[in-house]
A and B are shown apart, each in its own frame.
Chain A
């Protein structure tokens, strides 16, 4: 797998590069800002771009803007945003245009190389990746009458994995059940929560995230 890394802090950039190289992944280019990232993607046409959310010059949302641009211009290139913010707003913003092959992970998670490799594989398979911390926080949100109470323990587990962006097949593998069982669960969950989005589409991640934030 060939990846491009964009991260303005050299220490972190080198760390990630080393991790990936050790894991047998080919880091074809490194970039310190959004403009050189876009150039590198155009030139090298990698499988994935790993992008820091905060980059020069303003250190605000350059990473997000660049990620959306890559997703729009290079449909075959996955984008994984690395961030220190547990911020559903940023994740939703990344996913709103092209939810497939886009991911939002907390930086501390990628230093566990298995997490990083897993996320890149899932993106390559066309899935979406949302950091479990964000999903956990949305599940923990205080609600007046919690609609999640009507879900079974297993259904809650499945809903969490849907929110993290896993496909039915990946959920089945994770829970050691058949894909058909997962499909049934997902249908049931969507029915119970009154979600009208197609439970098989990429957009279901956004629908679930929005639902978790909105329900009070």
Chain B
């Protein structure tokens, strides 16, 4: 019980926090609706002519769309528990969006317009923060963080300065509220005016910097990441443009008159941009949920025994990232391989691409290189997919081991061949050459014995000459059998012709192109034919047909005979061909080898 209690308490806390979150959500919706409805009421009241929503029905609709859109986006993001503060920022920005209208509330308590005036200045930093922190929830780059710090500080300073020193009564540019400032400490009209103007130009400058940062992020992002950023960053750029335009417009107009066509147009652009921004935020959440569902579907489909590499393509489709790569970790050989067991370099993070290491039972199973726009990849991959990945990793490990084995076999055969070749050369240049010299000496000796009339010696030496000739003959055949020089120097076709010249049965070469192939391939083809012909002769065949053709990246060797008994397994040829990744099939009176090769 003692051990259970803390858990129950934790569960209770969790339930409580969820309830609180739900309550907070409901409260936020109600407050948002109240703020929006109130703003509409204010706009319809006596201050009607001083606000944009009051100036026309379109203005009212736009104001409502943008503000409620931000609040809705904030709620959707928070309810989906997306990372970071983006949901809170959107909610706050939604509230402050209505503040400029509340300034015109003349019937209410004087504190409301005063507070509204102070809060209105925070819409811009909040929206900037929202955009720069999207989608991870944190403003990543140094310029972005610096910009945020500066705009928040400036907004705070400007709000404080205007609250303390701006007397609306003495402000020639005042429009909505020309009477009340509850916080006024001392009336300093010229300072207040200077602060207002510098605030506008500061906002314009900050907006230009925001545009630059957004453009940079879009340019650097990879394809899928850019797709995710566009719905938020493009409206943000439009909003920033409206901020710049407002600063320029107000430079020429003293009073911010909502009926001024230029100013109203700027308001339309800004509201439209904010509405689209809110829509972009919501669409991001929708997309994220669709991706999660797609990832979940992969897990559901796992029982269909995926082919090697199918999880990679399934994840790529689910996350809409064709560049996604899964590399499996082989702890035994300390390297990464792809699903088919081929070695791949360790995935590394690059601009626009992130690497997530996936663990199972506290061991790395794979590293996934994916678009940087997929936050918290690790949490999206559930246990079922992990199991599938582990399964595919084991398969890849097996394939890698098979490939190593094949490469090792190929090396063994290649080493044996080069030793055979060396042996043939040694025989040719050593024993054969010396025997030639010896036979020459014997001939000379025989000649002098003949001149001296020593007949017994001459006869003996003549026999010795014949003997050396026979040994030479045997050595030559031995050397040729070890490795035919003509195979190395002229290729498979001439070597097969010589094989046919000396075969124990009639051999017809049906096809053999005069082309060169890699030495191991030529040797495998040659020794396969040689072994098959020997076997055919043993089985009393009196005819054999040989063909060697290149077909679709393979050298196809066929030997057909009319032997009376079925062909033997041809062990040596099977090993040779298998070592090169090929296959040898034996039928009753035919053998066919397919050896992978690229002609050289």
Contact = CB atoms under 8 A, between A and B. Distances in A.
Contact of A54 (B428, B434, B437, B494): B428
Contacts of B500: 141, 213, 216
Given A89-B494, A108-B436, A144 B506 contact: yes
Nearest to B425: A59
B443 A61 contact: no
B432 interface: yes
Interface stretch (B63-71, B263-271, B483-491): B483-491
Interface in B497-517: 497-498, 500-508
B486 A111 contact: no
Nearest to A15: B440
Contacts of B494: 87, 89
B472 interface: yes
B476 interface: yes
B504 A142 contact: yes
Contact of B428 (A84, A137, A143, A213): A84
A190 interface: no
A87 B497 CA distance: 10
Interface string A147-179: 000000000000000000000000000000000
Given A61-B489, A89-B497, A213-B501, A12 B436 contact: yes
Interface string B417-446: 000000001001100111011011001000
A142 B440 CA distance: 34
Chain A, interface residues (CB within 8 Å), range: 20 to 34
B498 A89 contact: yes
A38 interface: no
A147 B564 CA distance: 25
A15 B498 contact: no
B440 A86 contact: no
B498 A84 contact: no
B543 A111 contact: no
Given A59-B425, A141-B500, A141-B501, A108 B486 contact: no
Interface string A57-74: 001110000000000000
A12 B437 contact: yes
Given A54-B428, A87-B498, A89-B494, A107 B503 contact: no
A43 interface: no
Contact of A12 (B433, B486, B501, B506): B433
Contacts of A35: none
B467 interface: no
Nearest to A143: B506
The CB with the most chain B CB atoms within 10 A, among A87, A93, A144, is that of: A87
Chain B, interface residues (CB within 8 Å), range: 20 to 34
B566 to A, nearest CB: 22
B489 A60 contact: yes
A22 B486 CA distance: 35
Nearest to A141: B501
B404 interface: no
Contacts, number: 74
For chain A, what secondary structure do more than half of its interface residues adopt (helix, strand, loop), or is it mixed?
loop
Contacts of A213: 497, 500-501
A84 B497 contact: no
Contacts of A211: none
Given A141-B500, A144-B542, A216 B508 contact: yes
B469 interface: yes
Contact of B501 (A61, A88, A108): A88
Contacts of A86: 476
A142 B486 contact: no
A138 B501 contact: yes
A12 B472 CA distance: 15
A118 to B, nearest CB: 16
B497 to A, nearest CB: 6
Contacts of B437: 11-12, 15
Contacts of B490: 89, 93
A86 B479 CA distance: 12
A216 B507 contact: yes
B486 A90 contact: yes
A84 B476 contact: yes
A91 to B, nearest CB: 11
B489 A111 contact: no
A165 to B, nearest CB: 18
A90 B487 CA distance: 12
Given A12-B433, A61-B489, A144-B543, A88 B498 contact: yes
Contact of B436 (A59, A90, A107): A107
A166 B432 CA distance: 29
Contacts of A144: 506, 508, 542-543
Contacts of B485: 85, 87
B506 A111 contact: no
Given A12-B437, A15-B440, A112-B443, A85 B486 contact: yes
A83 to B, nearest CB: 10
Contacts of B469: 108
Contacts of A23: none
A19 to B, nearest CB: 8
A141 B486 CA distance: 18
B436 A111 contact: yes
Contacts of A11: 433-434, 437
Contacts of A108: 436, 439, 469, 472
8 closest residue pairs by CB, A with B: A89-B494, A144-B506, A216-B508, A111-B440, A142-B506, A15-B440, A11-B437, A60-B489
Given A59-B425, A111-B436, A137-B502, 19 more contacts: A11-B437, A84-B432, A85-B486, A87-B486, A87-B494, A88-B497, A88-B501, A89-B494, A107-B436, A108-B469, A111-B439, A111-B440, A138-B501, A141-B502, A142-B504, A144-B506, A144-B543, A213-B497, A213-B501
26 contacts: A9-B433, A11-B433, A12-B436, A54-B428, A61-B489, A84-B432, A85-B480, A86-B476, A87-B486, A88-B497, A88-B498, A93-B490, A108-B436, A111-B439, A111-B443, A112-B443, A137-B501, A138-B501, A141-B500, A142-B504, A143-B506, A144-B508, A144-B542, A144-B543, A213-B501, A216-B506
Interface of B: 425, 428-429, 432-434, 436-437, 439-440, 443, 469, 472, 476, 480, 485-486, 488-490, 494, 497-498, 500-508, 542-543
